[in-house]
Structure 1
Amino acid sequence: MRINHHSLVGSHFLELWRQNSRMSTEMVVEEDAEPSPTELNTFNCSDGFLNMLPDKLSVRYTGLALHGQDVGVVQANRPAPVKRLVYYFEIFVKNAGSKGQIGIGFITEGFRMRRQPGWEPNSYGYHGDDGFLYRGLGKGEAFGPTYTAGDTVGCGINYASQEFFFTKNGIVVGTVYKDLKGPLFPTISIHSQNEEVSVNFGKEPFVFDLKAYEAQERAKQQMMVEKISLPHNASYELVHSYLLHYGYEDTLKLFDMANRSSLPPISLTQGNGFPKQDDMYALNQRKTLRQLIRSGEIDEAFDKLQSWYPQIIQDDTSPICFLLHCQRFIELIRAGKVEEALAYGRVEFEKFNQLTELDDLVKDCATLLAYEQPQKSSVGYLLEESQREIVADAVNATILSATANPNLKDSRVYLYSKLEKLLRQLTACYMERRSLNGDQGEAFHLRRVLNSDYKN
């Protein structure tokens, strides 16, 4: 049973290695990087009532406006992307024509392209001649100021608040709850002689300060988080447990000295799956092993493990031994000892020939030999500090799972510190909330939160 748990922990870190490989060797596409509208749709528009200029960003009304359905309507070539905080576009009114019956808004698929946005179900529109907002009904409601020639008007979706918002000359004039489902297409309409507008989907700077608006929206979210009451010592205990879990003994001592409090410490051990004393196990030895691996001294790390925890490396084909042997090979490459690395790889990698699930990782290691400057190659990620950290974390977790509490039924509780478990839960909650909004809104990226300007 213990060996199975031991392998389970090692396999977890092999998968982390693969994730590290994918992030480094493939073109990383951000989850938020969806195709965005770039121009107006030359096919899905009101033929006969407008003329689209060659740039596909400007339209002029060419009808006589004799009837209510003689509207020139055109939508964007793509729907608004949804995996972000905000989507926004603008129009500039070059000519308001005889009546200024210009509209801007969003429509769903299947909209009749002979009606102003907002006049038909499944559409919203802010109109220039009366400043009214129309939301799927023929009758509008007072909303904002009128707009005419020389004005820049914008329309956006705030996915965090699930609202449409509209701007005029860089200022928000109003918001309205977004109750439309499915893909939404940015849309503009013109309805009187000589009207002419151009659209900006983001190729040129917006008049509206979109980045400031996004920062303001994120600040609102941050303020909500900061209103949540936490026990006085909770943050201290979380950091303390993190340093303890990963064996950062020296940093832990300094941290405790700097944060001594007269208040009793708050225990976060209940419900974590293992007693607090498990994290205290072999703290000095785990610190030593981490330092050796992070400095590339893998032979000495092997010697220490053989002396302190021989049961961990007695199976030389275990995941943890594989990680250590690979790191030893990598360190030889780092030191420029190519012939020694080649000889070492032939002996050690031979042991894993029958384990086809490791072929991709062995291949990455062997590929280092093919380059004069391997750090600049597709497998250069192996020479980064993050790879050493994976091996050090694997050794640390294996020691805890195999020796700290041998009666524990599930060793996976040692894979993460309490702080990491909290962050994983936070991410899961954030994604669940986004799921309830139809998978609309930006994903949770901890790095972005930590590096953001509003965090202070």
Structure 2
Amino acid sequence: MSETTSQNQLPSPNGFTGSYFLQVWRNTSVTLTPESKSEFDENGEEAPTALDTVNSSGGFSLVGPDKLSVSYPSVNLHGHDVGVVQANHAAPMKRLVYYFEILVKNAGAKGQIAIGFTTSAFKLRRQPGWEANSYGYHGDDGLLYRGRGKGETFGPTFSTGDTVGGGINYDTQQFFFTKNGAVVGTVYKDVKGPVFPTVAVHSQSEEITVNFGKDPFVFDIKAYEADHRSRQQIDIDKISVPQDAGYGFRIVRSYLQHYGYEETLQLFDMASKSMVPPISLASEIGCGEEDSVYALNKRRTLRQLIRCGKVDDAFAKIREWYPQIIQDDASIICFLLHCQKFVELVRGGKLEEAIFYGRREFHKFKISSDFDDFVKDCAALLAYEQPQKSSVGYLLRDSQRELVADAVNAMILSTNPNMKNSRLSMHSSLEMLIRQLTACFFEKRSLNGDQGEAFHLLRILESGKK
């Protein structure tokens, strides 16, 4: 069946395909304010930034105005006179490693300083490690305490001038402690819930400062992570997997076909011709070769026009080739194209023309609140002398053009009458594989008490850079 005869079978442009790309845009536009970025990690978890001054151990510790320094102002009389302070947030759990450090500015009369991790129910009048569900590395004896008052041989003592750190390796489920940049030892983490970085002082004149990552650590935490990842890779490489030299090439090829990169596809085919057998991906991804190359040349042309900012030309081609896609001028795909046209006018400095265009085209989308935030972001570009440096500057990036080009590409693929599942128009087989892999990692993390990191393709790609 030809492309023309399939036009009447197109799913509604306001269906899941358009909504999906609108959600992608929404996810792109959501950014943290500069004030809040320091309190959240890349997974959106609140991360410790200071010491908690609300929950107190009484008058046995004095937290400085910076909320990063602690001193012991009096003389201790017994074991319940400890000055214990937790961090203002629990250690983030959705990552490979968490780490913090203390600097011993003054070991005081007895050097009874401790660093460790405790739960929210911990009694703030006891040394970390002296109570259940707590762990502490103590400076006066170098012992590790975990859940009871008796310590075990662990590492060296620490005193004035020493920098001591405490960390959690969520992959190995271990706490680890460092002294002056070197790992002292590890201990199994048998607490599954969240734990708080915790410090303690317990004799007169003791004073420490805490570093939650605002300043560089003495211990090279990045090298520690890299070493652990290399060990993970060694273990992965030991796994025996049936070899299929052609599969990797075929799945990359299907990606190029899906997004209409025709010229790159031709070069790829020339480079891999002698290495890859001509095997179809039909049985593996649910569509045949004819589906992957559907309207390839036209999809390539439209992608190039949008990537070059020629939205009017793209509109003209769509009207000529696929008028059913934009026959509803209030559809999501039309909205995306009109927004991109508005952005291109701002990019070109044609502000008056952009205002006129926005007034003429955006009014038809006011019937739905789904578009309000996006229209406001576009309009906000007009308020800045340098919009590319503003909070809505993401609209001027090439990635926004790619998003619109992807949406148009998906809408055209969805017109293919032979496509068994119209949702295949949104993602290539390579992306579906990555999404499945990501889902498996999330499931693994869920089974581990929501601890550990998820699969991040960008991190893996960057780790391979020289």
Structure 1 residues 352 and 123, CA gap change in structure 2 (3 angstroms)? closer
Question: Identical aligned pairs, as a percentage?
Answer: 58
Does the aligned pair in 2 maintain the 1:109–1:184 contact within 8 Å? yes
Structure 1 residues 356 and 126, CA gap change in structure 2 (3 angstroms)? closer
Is 1:319 the counterpart of 2:329 in the alignment? no
Aligned to 1:72: 82
Does the aligned pair in 1 maintain the 2:155–2:184 contact within 8 Å? yes
Does the aligned pair in 1 maintain the 2:246–2:275 contact within 8 Å? no
C-alpha displacement at 1:46, in angstroms? 5.7
Within the candidate set 33, 39, 43, 1:31 is matched to 43
Is 1:154 the counterpart of 2:162 in the alignment? no
Structure 1 residues 409 and 375, CA gap change in structure 2 (3 angstroms)? same
Aligned to 1:434: 445
C-alpha displacement at 1:22, in angstroms? 3.1
Within the candidate set 14, 19, 24, 2:22 is matched to 14
Within the candidate set 204, 210, 227, 1:200 is matched to 210
List alignment gaps of at least 5 residues for structure 2.
1-7
Does the aligned pair in 2 maintain the 1:31–1:443 contact within 8 Å? no
Amino acid at match of 1:73: G
CA distance in 2, matches of 1:330, 1:95: 58
Aligned to 1:135: 146
- Which secondary structure state, in structure 1, belongs to the residue aligned with residue 226 of structure 2? helix
C-alpha displacement at 1:75, in angstroms? 1.9
- Which secondary structure state, in structure 2, belongs to the residue aligned with residue 110 of structure 1? coil
C-alpha displacement at 1:279, in angstroms? 0.9
Structure 1 residues 114 and 236, CA gap change in structure 2 (3 angstroms)? same
Instruction: Using structure 1 for the length normalisation, give the TM-score.
Output: 0.84
Is 1:308 the counterpart of 2:321 in the alignment? yes
CA distance in 2, matches of 1:277, 1:328: 33
C-alpha displacement at 1:265, in angstroms? 5.0
Q: How do 1:49-60 and structure 2 match up within 5 A?
A: 57-60=69-72
Aligned to 1:413: 424
C-alpha displacement at 1:362, in angstroms? 3.9
CA distance in 2, matches of 1:244, 1:28: 41
Structure 1 residues 265 and 62, CA gap change in structure 2 (3 angstroms)? farther
1:114-156 CA deviation, whole Å, 9 max, x = no partner?
Answer: 4332222111122344433221123333322344455433222
CA distance in 2, matches of 1:64, 1:381: 57
Aligned to 1:235: 248
- Which secondary structure state, in structure 1, belongs to the residue aligned with residue 290 of structure 2? helix
Q: How do 1:356-375 and structure 2 match up within 5 A?
A: 356-368=369-381, 374-375=387-388
Does the aligned pair in 2 maintain the 1:106–1:124 contact within 8 Å? yes
Is 1:126 the counterpart of 2:137 in the alignment? yes
Structure 1 residues 321 and 150, CA gap change in structure 2 (3 angstroms)? closer
Instruction: Using structure 2 for the length normalisation, give the TM-score.
Output: 0.82
Aligned to 2:272: 259
CA distance in 2, matches of 1:73, 1:370: 52
Does the aligned pair in 2 maintain the 1:103–1:190 contact within 8 Å? yes
Does the aligned pair in 1 maintain the 2:10–2:324 contact within 8 Å? no
Aligned to 2:4: none
C-alpha displacement at 1:256, in angstroms? 1.8
- Which secondary structure state, in structure 1, belongs to the residue aligned with residue 424 of structure 2? helix
Structure 1 residues 336 and 187, CA gap change in structure 2 (3 angstroms)? closer
Is 1:63 the counterpart of 2:70 in the alignment? no
Amino acid at match of 1:63: V
Aligned to 1:176: 187
Q: How do 1:237-386 and structure 2 match up within 5 A?
A: 237-265=250-278, 267-368=280-381, 374-386=387-399
C-alpha displacement at 1:253, in angstroms? 1.0
Structure 1 residues 151 and 360, CA gap change in structure 2 (3 angstroms)? closer
Amino acid at match of 2:208: S
Does the aligned pair in 2 maintain the 1:117–1:187 contact within 8 Å? yes
Structure 1 residues 419 and 180, CA gap change in structure 2 (3 angstroms)? same
Does the aligned pair in 1 maintain the 2:76–2:204 contact within 8 Å? no
Amino acid at match of 1:7: N
CA distance in 2, matches of 1:89, 1:24: 23
CA distance in 2, matches of 1:2, 1:25: 45
C-alpha displacement at 1:267, in angstroms? 4.8
List alignment gaps of at least 5 residues for structure 1.
none
Aligned to 1:188: 199
Instruction: Give the number of equivalent residue pairs.
Output: 449
- Which secondary structure state, in structure 1, belongs to the residue aligned with residue 172 of structure 2? coil
Aligned to 1:144: 155
Amino acid at match of 2:115: I
1:321-351 CA deviation, whole Å, 9 max, x = no partner?
Answer: 3333333343344444445445544444454
CA distance in 2, matches of 1:133, 1:185: 17
C-alpha displacement at 1:355, in angstroms? 4.2
C-alpha displacement at 1:78, in angstroms? 1.9
C-alpha displacement at 1:93, in angstroms? 4.5
Amino acid at match of 2:88: R
1:53-106 CA deviation, whole Å, 9 max, x = no partner?
Answer: 7776243474355x5x25523123424421443232334445656765543322
Deviates more, 1:291-300 or 1:82-91: 82-91
